[in-house]
A and B are shown apart, each in its own frame.
Chain A
Amino acid sequence: METITTHQHADLHRDDTAAKLGMWLFIFTEILLFGGLFIVYSVYRFKNPVAFELAHEELSITMGFINTIILLVSSATVAISITAMQKNDRKITLAMLGITLLLALVFLINKYFEWGGKFEHGMYPGSELMKNLSNGDMLFFSLYFFMTGLHGVHILIGMILLGITLVKVKTGAVNSGKYALLENSGLYWHLVDLIWIFLFPLFYLIH
């Protein structure tokens, strides 16, 4: 048989614009994923206006507010890290990515205490207390745990992405000539932030 030469396959080509376009499209799907939940939220809030308003008083606005500030700052730091990379300042890029990761961690710790407080009072999905709640309260807390939980999962995914990026910046695989991964992780992190910006008023600031 003929000698078969090894040669580069097309997957080795590089197209940063395509990578970013792909990330934007993926972000659309994420927004729609939460969009489904926002629909469910609106329907049930419309049906149980009083219960939702009373139930939200169980949540601590201070905790939610702190977490909002944390995420807003982390969005800023991740944006700074990209600008720093464009200016070829690896040190600041690394520092800013590090701070972003740290803030994400603080957010989760905050969330841990918030959820933990609820659990201590016997308030968690499937608990006796929750089963005995009135319908409106039950729906509010089901949605609260489900939506903030799913958002927490997205924080974790974002942290993994940022972590990988951090390592690659360190090794030089992501550099000032090739930083689509950094931009994409940054985009994803802004998405995580954006969703929280909607969750915070929906659960904590109802009037």
Chain B
Amino acid sequence: MEEQTEHKYLPNYLEYRGKYKGLAGWLTTTDHKRIGLLYFYSMMVFFLAGVVMGILMKLELISPGEQIMGAQVYNGLFTLHGLTMIFLFVIPGVAAVYGNFFLPILIGAKDVSFPRLNLMSWYLYIIGAIVVLTSQFMGDGPPDTGWTFYAPYSLKTQTNVVAAVTGAFILGFSSILTGLNFIVTMHRLRAPGMGWLRMPLFAWALYGTGWIQLLATPIVGITFLMVIAERLLGIGFFDPAIGGDPILYQHLFWIYSHPAVYIMILPAMGAITEIIPTFARKTIFGYTAIVISSMAIAFVGYFVWGHHMFTSGMSSTSRWVFSLLTFLVAIPSAIKVFNWTATLYKGSINIKTPFLWAICFIFVFMIGGFSGLVLGSLATDIHVHDTAFVVAHFHYIVFGGTGFAFFAALHYWYPKMFAKVYNPKIANLGLFIFFVGFNLLYFPMFYLGMIGMPRRYYDYLPMFHNANILSTIGSWIMATGLLIVIINLVRARRGTGKEVNDPWDGKTLEWTIASPPIVENFEEIPVVDHGPYEY
């Protein structure tokens, strides 16, 4: 076949016409690149909806007392904000969009191992999303439990918890199948010559993520099924009134949901690891250390869930064991930060938009990481547990980590995905405003938490007023920056772009092929005879 196609025009994945045209062609596609974009567009819709909810909550908190909504609406809103952002944006996040689009290309394959299963995962994602969102309109009103569905309240509240939990269960399936697909793909479809230790580090991050998705998600799946059974059939698992144990619910929930934050952050770290060497024009420092740290995070991250429950009632032995493990899991994350900065050392740094996003990522990720250690210490955690401090930490890690990496990766791979060039000045301006707004929004919450402002209330005491004003103003600035970034990218998509195959002078395989990639990625499967970042 290669001989025939050598001089023939090969359609790229955007213009390729299979059995169906137009929208139907996209909805029936098994092309990993198109599926990546399906995830991308649907995820952006949910993300922006989540941002709007966040801004509304911050507006409510601009001063004490009821501003634009009452307690019940606020409770519903932070639940929906959490569900949307966590289950529909950051958990699939970087892996589903860029993993789908770039994993096969990075390892020199034509597609993932199970392309049809891949499409099915997207459909499960959409079905799950719809079921979660119906909980808002059907039954007895929007769930008000928070995204954690803690028992026994989630069993007692009159709101529509069953739909939300069912949706989360379906989304779990989507996540499992994506992880499974990626793992098998990396085992079976690496190009000739690409040994495990020649794989790009983004692929390694996805490998670790895949195992967490496989091994952790079923636990929360079964827990959600038990909550559904308990609500619908009235059988007792977690309700203490009939012998159940609500603490057991928390254990089961966090056995998944703590590893889930590594599902969010590992691919994000992987994307950053691709960006840094490209713009430092230097091979990555400590390739093997990064590989090992990815796998160590995936492994140790499995055993630290108890640090969410220091105040819920656990023996002091389990508390200090969980605290110790929490400190241990910080080490591989720190190793990555050291590797990134060491890569920059004596590099010929090429300051471009993706690089700036990556640097901002490291900055906010460090703040998020260190504040995490405050929460991982037994004594300080008691003080700041369930306060705004936790909210600040979480948003620095998850939004600052995964969110920043998501946009860093978008600016990095945008020319490859769409063969268009965005305006770098506007992109940098947007990032600057976004970064300022982000810190103004979340940093005051550390302070608020330290002086005792609890989270998840629509109202607060007047002593917390000043910092809350700053935080709300920050939310407006951040939204402005985000808007600039997005409009810039949308305009670039519509504009006439230059077709550049390798705008950043990158060394990994995706920069050796056409932009946008042809349907089968490579005209001929490459033979790899060197590591991924050889400058």
- Hey, which bits of chain A sit against chain B, CB under 8 A? 1-7, 9-11, 13, 15, 17-18, 21-22, 25-26, 28-30, 32-37, 39-40, 43-44, 47-48, 125-126, 130-131, 134-136, 138-139, 141-143, 145-146, 150
Contact = CB atoms under 8 A, between A and B. Distances in A.
A34 B219 CA distance: 8
A32 B16 contact: no
A40 B226 contact: yes
A18 B188 contact: yes
A7 B13 CA distance: 12
B75 to A, nearest CB: 28
B180 interface: yes
30 contacts: A1-B15, A2-B11, A5-B9, A5-B11, A9-B111, A9-B519, A10-B110, A10-B111, A15-B113, A18-B114, A18-B187, A21-B188, A22-B113, A22-B184, A25-B180, A25-B214, A32-B218, A36-B223, A37-B222, A47-B245, A48-B243, A125-B233, A125-B235, A135-B242, A138-B242, A138-B243, A142-B236, A142-B237, A143-B237, A146-B229
Interface in B164-190: 176, 180-181, 183-184, 187-189
A22 B114 contact: yes
B244 interface: yes
Interface in B140-181: 176, 180-181
Given A21-B187, A35-B218, A138 B18 contact: no
B215 A36 contact: no
Interface of B: 5, 8-9, 11, 15-18, 30-31, 109-111, 113-117, 176, 180-181, 183-184, 187-189, 214-215, 217-219, 221-223, 225-226, 229, 233-237, 242-245, 248, 252, 255, 519-520
Interface centre among A29, A33, A34 (most CB of B within 10 A): A29
A32 B181 CA distance: 18
Contacts of B181: 22
Given A17-B188, A28-B214, A146-B226, 16 more contacts: A4-B15, A6-B18, A10-B520, A11-B116, A15-B188, A18-B188, A22-B181, A25-B183, A25-B214, A39-B252, A40-B252, A44-B245, A125-B235, A126-B234, A135-B242, A141-B235
Contacts of A15: 113, 188
A4 B11 CA distance: 6
Contacts of B243: 44, 48, 134-136, 138-139
B214 A36 contact: no
Given A11-B30, A22-B180, A32-B215, A130 B252 contact: no
A48 B189 CA distance: 51
B234 A125 contact: yes
A36 B114 CA distance: 28
A9 B30 contact: yes
B184 A36 contact: no
Nearest to A31: B218
Contacts of A130: 235
A contact patch SS: helix
Nearest to B213: A29
B219 A32 contact: yes
B18 A9 contact: yes
A47 B17 CA distance: 62
A131 B3 CA distance: 74
Nearest to A28: B214
B11 A33 contact: no
Given A29-B176, A135-B243, A136-B243, A126 B235 contact: yes
Given A40-B248, A43-B245, A135-B242, A146 B235 contact: yes
Interface centre among A37, A43, A142 (most CB of B within 10 A): A142
Given A25-B184, A29-B214, A5 B235 contact: no
Contacts of A28: 214-215
Contacts of A6: 18
Contact of B248 (A1, A34, A43, A138): A43
8 closest pairs, A vs B, by CB? Answer: A135-B243, A10-B110, A11-B115, A142-B235, A10-B111, A36-B222, A125-B233, A32-B218
A145 B114 CA distance: 35
A134 B237 CA distance: 13
A29 B217 contact: yes
Nearest to A149: B229
A75 B233 CA distance: 33
A26 B363 CA distance: 38
Contacts of B30: 9, 11
A43 B248 CA distance: 8
A195 to B, nearest CB: 12
A152 to B, nearest CB: 14
A188 to B, nearest CB: 14
A30 B218 contact: yes
B221 A33 contact: yes
A36 B252 contact: yes
A146 B230 CA distance: 10
Contacts of B11: 2, 4-5
Nearest to A124: B233
Contacts of B116: 11
A12 to B, nearest CB: 9
A25 B186 CA distance: 14
Given A135-B243, A146-B229, A5 B113 contact: no
Contacts of B252: 36, 39-40
B226 A4 contact: no
A98 B242 CA distance: 45
Contacts of B17: 4
A48 B223 CA distance: 21
Nearest to A142: B235
Contacts of A145: 235
Given A32-B218, A43-B248, A4 B520 contact: no
Contact of A2 (B9, B217, B244): B9
A20 B181 CA distance: 12
A142 B231 CA distance: 13
A36 B215 CA distance: 11
Contacts of A1: 15
Contacts of B189: 18
B520 to A, nearest CB: 6
Contact of B234 (A5, A26, A32, A131): A131
A7 B15 CA distance: 14
A44 B248 CA distance: 10
A199 to B, nearest CB: 14
